[in-house]
Amino acid sequence: MLKVDDIHVYYGDSYILQGISLEVGEGEIVALLGRNGAGKTTTMRSIIGYNPPARGRITFMNEVISGRPVYENVRRGLGYVPEERRIFPDLTVSENLEVASRPARPGQTPWDLERLFHTFPLLVRLRQHLGGELSGGEQQMLAIARALAGNPRLLLLDEPCEGLAPVIVESLGNIISGLKRELPILMAEQNSHFALAIADRAYVIDKGRICHQGDACELSENEEIKSRYLAV
């Protein structure tokens, strides 16, 4: 469904992504793992369109999307939850969801408010609270719910459990696992324990290159890769 084919990305003179290739298929949760600074966020930003690749190609639903603006990629069905969440602090939880709402696509069950609150029960009692009043975990739930409100076909999640308390991480993991029935997900994570427990497959990125890829179960038992490339 999503195919990243040998992308090369620069920040000024810095050569950051040095030929990244990955794929996400229907019904899959795919993890992109790696230490701080490995290039996970840059990969996600390239896919959504903030850092277009200088070389290489990204296709989504058989259409080339690399080089296209973010709003077009969102309109085509990419949902993006950035690392810093970027919820609207002066809008209520309900308003944050309402402003992000987009019509569902043919054949899709729409992510209306009722369905979103059913999926994220923590947000129900916070409906009238301002985004800026929420805890980190509540903000993360809202950020994912808000991306879903756009009725995407595929979700890009950048470091969903960063900085969250363990109890919130656990319930977030359950929610993300449940979302697999609804749409494919590409999730960048430093927390490999969290990501490998819910992903089907994983790619490990180091210094802007994919250094390992495989089945999540196989990787979670690969102590060499985990100790060499992942924070465990």
Torsion sign over Cα 218, 223, 224, 225: positive
* Min dist. Cβ of residue 71 to ligand ATP (A): 21
Instruction: Round to whole Å and give the CA distance between 22 and 15.
Output: 19
Closer Cβ to ligand ATP, 34 or 52, answer by number: 34
Both tokens of residue 94?
Answer: 């309900």
Residue numbers at the binding site for ligand ATP (CB under 6 A): 11, 14, 16, 34, 36-42, 83, 190
- Kind and range of the H or E run holding 145: helix 136-149
For 5, 123, 132, 165, the CA distances from 32, given in Å and listed in that order, are 15, 28, 29, 21
Shorter beta-carbon distance to ligand ATP: residue 36 or 62: 36
Q: Which is nearer to ligand ATP, 129 or 209 (CB)?
A: 209
Q: How far apart are CA 72 and CA 50, in angstroms?
A: 12
Tokens 């690399």 found at: 66
Which residue in this structure is represented by tokens 């470091």? 159
The CB-of-182 to ligand ATP minimum distance in angstroms stands at 25
How do the residues of the chain divide into helix, strand and coil, expressed in percent and rounded to 5? Answer: 40, 30, 35
The nearest distance, CB 27 to ligand ATP, in angstroms, is: 26
Shortest spacing between CB 11 and ligand ATP, in angstroms: 3
| Distance of closest approach, residue 45 Cβ to ligand ATP, in angstroms | 7
- Cβ proximity to ligand ATP: between 94 and 190 the closer is 190
Closest to ligand ATP by CB, 42 vs 139, is 42
- Which CB, 138 or 206, lies closer to ligand ATP? 206
Report the Cα–Cα distance between both ends of the chain, in Å, rounded.
30
As measured in angstroms, the least distance from the Cβ of 82 to ligand ATP is 10
Taking each helix axis from N to C terminus, what angle separates 166-179 and 136-149, rounded to the nearest 10 degrees? 10
